[in-house]
Amino acid sequence: MTQRLVVIGNGMAGARTVEEILARNGDFTITMFGDEPYGNYNRIMLSNLLAGVEDEAGIYLNDLSWYADNGITLNAGVRIERIDRFAKVVYATDGTATPYDKLIIATGSSSWTPPIKNIHNPKRGFHQGVFAFRTLDDTRGMIRYARDHERAVVIGGGLLGLEAARGLQNHLSDVTLLHAMGHLMERQLDEKAGHMLQASVENKLGIKVITNAMTTEILGKDRVTGVKLADGTVIPCDVVVIAAGIRPNTQVAADSGLTVERGIVVDDQMRVQDEDDIYSVGECAQHRGNLYGLVAPLWDQAKVLADHITGRDVEAAYTGSKLSTKLKVAGIDVASMGLIAPESDDDEVIIYSEPKKGVYKQLIIRDGALAGAILVGDNSKAAGLIQSFDRAQALPEERAEMLFDIGGPTGEVKPEDMPDDAQVCNCNGVSKGAICGVVNAGCKTVSGVMDSTRAGKGCGTCKPLVQRIVEWAAGGEAEEDPAASWYVPGVPMPKPELMAAIRKYELKSVSSVFEKLVPGGEHDAKSKMGLASLLKMMWADRYVDERDARFINDRVHGNIQKDGTFSVVPQMKGGVTTPAELKRIAEVAEKYNVPMVKLTGGQRIDLLGIPKEQLPAMWADLDMPSGYAYAKSFRTVKTCVGSDFCRFGVGDSTALGIAIEERYQGLEGPGKMKLAVTGCPRNCAEAYVKDLGVVAIDGGKWEIYVGGAAGAHIRKGDLLCTLDSAEEVIRMTGRFLQYYRENANWLERTYSFVPRIGIERIREIVVEDTDGIADALDAAVDEAVQSYKDPWKERAVPATPGQFRTSLPLTVLPQVPVRS
């Protein structure tokens, strides 16, 4: 039966919870009460509204039509006074009584007013010229009043106070910030960072800051003329804004007999203590002793509440949130998360300080995980740190990498400093303005924005910048995208779960995966290639190969070019060839009028500009195996000449490179695998920057480096192990590649995969075999090696009708007679 759901409070938590309930098809008739006479707007954006970078229309999250469209009765501007929890009725100030079956209290907080003489006016609340900063009405009033005045004082030097001070500068010329504590943002920053921030706020923004400032009195008879501090200082001003903290709105709950301590006490299902039918969510709720004053925890609470109240998952539990904050003041970077000071001698503290530039960075690491971080003056690493902090990810051995971009391009640009037409994605030509446009149109996930603009879908190096722009444009409102953890966008599962399900149901073809594992059985073009690669890896010979699951490159075994022609790169193991082979290539190039013959970076020869229909004949004339220069697979093994010829060589790099390529040729994977073997540490074959690089060292030994890259991203590989023989290197190579194939995300190259897992962990698994899976990895890669077939053999009998038929009029197509 449809139940009556009443929600008190139409703010960010209340409305979000209702959205989550609707998303779960909850069967309720919903009535909402909100003290404010509006739909639900984004309170966070009030800072931007004050600063003039956002207008009122732009901050609504749910406008009035949303309520109507979803059949919700909204009583905007109606306050609830009392709950009768026995009769299950709520009473409003307008005299109405509304019965409920389930009740949600989401009354949020109000701004707290410190005891200051003359701050109130008995008739009109505040003294004329004094404002709180909490609601749209507060903000409107403040803007209207500030426009006609000169000098403002903001009381409170936390996040809110700083944002208020910065915003007021948009309306008047003189702003002073008073803070009762010794340094700014004392809850998020340590003393050093607080002072550094103060210097930036004063010098860069021109806001005067006074710390240890106890405001005792508001001066002025009918309107504000100044404030007085405890030490007698008088600061003349016309506007006073109070941003001294918030207090949860718990009065109604307390008056109605619910358990209220600092907030309304709730359990892990967000139910009010001892109540079966009353929930509370948002800033007014006290969970496990904690009150939250940021939105991120509210989103998590809303999901759990919705899961529970709709019966979707009655076991769902909210267990608390880890907090991270960023200051939303243009030009002043501040981010903070977790601890701001070490708590024991075992806590590792890393500090970088550059006072002249106003840059301060501190990390606190406990048990190998990030327990806290402070960034002032440089937020370029904030996104990554927040992520490691939230998910307790393994940290890089080189701690400095967490604070700086090492080896990467320097001088990270800030979204706010970029002009709208600045090109962000250099591969697909997407501007900052285009990205912001999509965000403003309501798409607030990074992957959603990437899908609709194609930004970040080329070489991928701009992804962090795209992410920063999305976060900035969304004003801290960027949404975590559940799909970000999925292996492919069209199947809602991360890789380990997906593999388990594929094994459980023995799904051997791409279409069977869609039909079994996607609700509704919807196929997804953009997921096919990743699934094909995964299934081939898992089932080797038993994989049921549906050709349409392949990308065109893999259907015709060449790399598609800009004009629809293809490139032909024959295999040339280790970059070693023979005069006979070269002659054959030369003859083929002449015979087919190949437009360009070029040496590749992978030490082989590329014949470019070949029409699809010529491919089979050309492969036959070449009579060489495919070099796999088009697939997400094992590519080449570059080698140097090594000990056979080189004066410095200490190992036969050429022979080993050829042997490795011989064994692992064509092995598919989640990303390209480019290898090299070099004959001594002079590294002529560039082995340090390969997915897997082998370096001969004196004494007949070989070092293996993994996770290197020298493409758009440059990274030196991590030393995995040192081995005594070429045979061991070949085996270890296969074991590492197999571990990568089984565990990397789709298109995740080793340069991200290795740091994500951590080189120590990889070493434990593949070298030391602490998990006991080394034999299984060896066996799996051996099965894959056995199932290798040279794809260019498909020239004799095409795999599908018209496999090599032209798709564009590069040559005149056979004309079909037109029936009149």
Ligand X SMILES: Cc1cc2nc3c(=O)[nH]c(=O)nc-3n(C[C@H](O)[C@H](O)[C@H](O)COP(=O)(O)OP(=O)(O)OC[C@H]3O[C@@H](n4cnc5c(N)ncnc54)[C@H](O)[C@@H]3O)c2cc1C
Interface contacts to ligand SF4, rule CB under 6 A:
640-642, 646, 648-649, 653, 678-680, 682-684
Assign 228 to helix, strand or coil: strand
Closest CB to ligand SF4 among 417 and 698? Answer: 698
Angle between helices 12-23 and 295-309 (to 10 degrees): 40
Residues of span 690-749 touching ligand X by CB under 6 A? none
Nearest approach, Cβ of residue 345 and other proteins (Å): 53
- Interface pick for ligand X out of 80, 466, 537, 766 (rule CB under 6 A): 80
Rounded Cα distance between 473 and 429, Å, is 19
Of 308 and 674, which CB lies nearer to ligand HEM in the complex structure? 674
- 811 touching other proteins, by CB under 8 A: no
Nearer of residues 551 and 592 to ligand HEM, judged by Cβ: 551
Task: Output the smallest distance, CB 792 to other proteins, in A.
Answer: 19
409 lies in the binding site for ligand HEM (CB under 6 A): no
Number of residues that this document lists for the chain: 820
| Rounded Cα–Cα distance for residues 157 and 179 (Å) | 5
> Buried b / exposed e across 625-653, counting CB within 10 Å, b at 16+?
bbbbbbbbbbbbbbbbbbbeebeebbbbb
Residue 666 touches which member of other proteins, ligand HEM, ligand SF4, none, C-beta under 5-8 Å by kind? none
- Residues in 142-171 at the binding interface with ligand X, rule: CB under 6 A: 160, 163
Q: Which does 797 bind (CB under 5 to 8 A by kind): other proteins, ligand SF4, ligand HEM, none?
A: none
Q: Does residue number 33 form part of the binding site for ligand X (CB under 6 A)? A: yes
Q: Report the phi/psi class of residue 91: left, alpha or beta, with left for phi > 0 and alpha for psi in -120 to 50.
A: beta
Is residue 640 marked as binding? yes
Give whichever of 316 and 712 is closer to ligand HEM, judged by the CB atom: 712
CB half-sphere exposure, 176, CA atoms < 13 A: 20
601 binds, among ligand HEM, ligand X, ligand SF4, none (CB under 5 to 8 A by kind): ligand HEM
The residue among 413 and 427 lying less far from other proteins, judged by its C-beta, is 427
Q: In this structure, which amino acid lies at residue 520? A: G
Binding to ligand HEM by residue 674, rule CB under 6 A?
yes
DSSP string, 64-90: HHHHHHTT-EEEET--EEEEETTTTEE
Q: Using CB positions, name the residue nearest to ligand X.
A: 11
With respect to other proteins, which residue has the nearer C-beta, 453 or 745? 453
Residue in this structure with the two tokens 């019965």, named with its chain if needed: 99
Q: How far apart are CA 472 and CA 4, in angstroms?
A: 39
425: Cα separation from own chain's centroid? 17
Nearest to 388 by CA among 400, 402, 377: 402
Q: Where are the alpha helices (DSSP H) in 335-444?
A: 382-391, 400-403, 432-440
Burial status of residue 199 (CB atoms within 10 A of its CB: 0-12, 13-18, 19 or more): middle
Residues 6+ apart with CB under 8 A from 631: 553, 554, 666, 668
Site for ligand X in 264-303 (CB under 6 A): 282-283, 293-296, 298
Dihedral over Cα of 683, 688, 693, 697: its sign: positive
CB nearer to other proteins: pick between 418 and 531: 531
Concatenated DSSP letters for 519-553?
Answer: GGG---GGGHHHHHHHHHHHHGGG----GGGS-HH
How far apart, in whole angstroms, are the C-alpha atoms of residue 349 and residue 377?
A: 19
- Nearest CA-CA partner of 75 in 18, 36, 41: 36
Q: To the nearest whole angstrom, how small is the minimum distance from the Cβ of residue 655 to ligand HEM?
A: 19
Q: Which does 712 bind (CB under 5 to 8 A by kind): ligand SF4, ligand HEM, other proteins, none?
A: ligand HEM
The answer to whether residue 569 forms part of the interface with ligand HEM (CB under 6 A) is yes
- Of residues 91 through 110, those in contact with ligand X by CB under 6 A are 106-109
Residue partners of 500: CB distance under 8 A and separation at least 6:
none
CB of 8 to ligand X, least distance (A): 5
**Cα gap 734→660, rounded to integer Å:** 9
CB of 459 to ligand HEM, least distance (A): 4
806 lines the binding site for other proteins (CB under 8 A):
yes
Q: Is 427 annotated as a binding residue?
A: no
Residues 429-458 that bind other proteins (CB under 8 A): 451-454, 457
Interaction mask 473-492, ligand X, x per CB under 6 A: ---x----------------
Residue 95, C-beta contacts closer than 8 angstroms, at least 6 positions apart: none
Q: How far is CA 753 from CA 593, 670, 671, 742, in A?
A: 42, 11, 10, 11
Show the binding pattern over residues 705-724: x = contacts ligand HEM (CB under 6 A), - = does not. -----xxxx-----------
Phi, psi of 610 (to 5 degrees): -95, 125
3-class secondary structure for 661-718? HHHHCCCECCCCEEEEEECCCCCCCCHHHCCEEEEEECCCEEEEEECCEECCCEECCE
Rounded to an integer, what distance in angstroms lies between the CA atom of residue 29 and that of residue 677? 68
680 annotated to bind ligand: yes
Binding mask 444-463 for ligand HEM (x = CB under 6 A): ---------------x----
In the complex with other proteins, the residue whose CB is nearer, 29 or 461, is: 461
> Cβ 554 to ligand HEM, closest distance in Å?
13
Size of residue set near ligand HEM by CB under 6 A: 17
Query: Known binder of ligand: residue 646?
Result: yes
**Of ligand SF4, other proteins, ligand HEM, none, which one sits near residue 796, judging by CB under 5 to 8 A according to partner kind?**
none
Q: Of these partners, ligand X, ligand SF4, ligand HEM, none, which one is at the site of residue 446 (CB under 5 to 8 Å by kind)? A: none
DSSP 447-464: HHHHHHH-TT-SSSTTHH
Rg of the Cα atoms in the chain: 32
| 234 to 253: interface string for ligand X, x by CB under 6 A | ---------------x--x-
Q: Residue 638 touches which of other proteins, ligand HEM, ligand SF4, none (CB < 5 to 8 A by kind)?
A: ligand HEM
Q: Which one of ligand X, ligand SF4, ligand HEM, none is in contact with 674 (Cβ closer than 5 to 8 A by kind)? A: ligand HEM
Cβ-closest residue to ligand HEM?
711
CB half-sphere exposure, 473, CA atoms < 13 A: 25
- Count the neighbouring beta carbons within 10 Å of the beta carbon of residue 359: 17
Interacting residue with other proteins among 523, 584, 701, 761 (CB under 8 A): 523
Tell me the closest approach of the beta carbon of residue 652 to ligand SF4, in angstroms: 10
Residues 6+ apart with CB under 8 A from 583: none
Q: CB 32 → other proteins: shortest distance, Å?
A: 34
The entry of ligand HEM, ligand SF4, other proteins, none near residue 525 (CB within 5 to 8 angstroms by kind) is other proteins
Residue with tokens 């894959």: 784
Q: Reduce the secondary structure of 87-153 to three states and give it as a string.
A: CCEEEECCCCEEECCEEEECCCEEECCCCCECCEECCCEECCCEEECCCHHHHHHHHHHHHCCCEEE
Q: How far is the CB of 695 from ligand SF4 (least distance, A)?
A: 8
The tokens describing 763, both together, are 């070493």
| 673 touching ligand HEM, by CB under 6 A | no
Site for ligand HEM in 579-638 (CB under 6 A): 600-602, 604, 627, 629, 635-636, 638
Q: Which residues contact 416 (CB under 8 A, 6 or more apart)?
A: 330, 331, 472
Residue 10 found at the interface with ligand X (CB under 6 A): yes
Q: Specify binding-site residues for siroheme.
A: 684
Q: Specify binding-site residues for [4Fe-4S] cluster.
A: 640, 646, 680, 684
The site for ligand HEM (CB under 6 A) is made up of 459, 559, 569, 600-602, 604, 627, 629, 635-636, 638, 674, 710-713
The site for other proteins (CB under 8 A) is made up of 428, 451-454, 457, 490, 511, 522-526, 528-529, 546-549, 551-553, 555, 560, 562-564, 800-802, 805-809, 812-816, 818-820
The site for ligand X (CB under 6 A) is made up of 8-14, 33-36, 43-44, 46-47, 79-80, 106-109, 133-134, 160, 163, 249, 252, 282-283, 293-296, 298, 328, 476
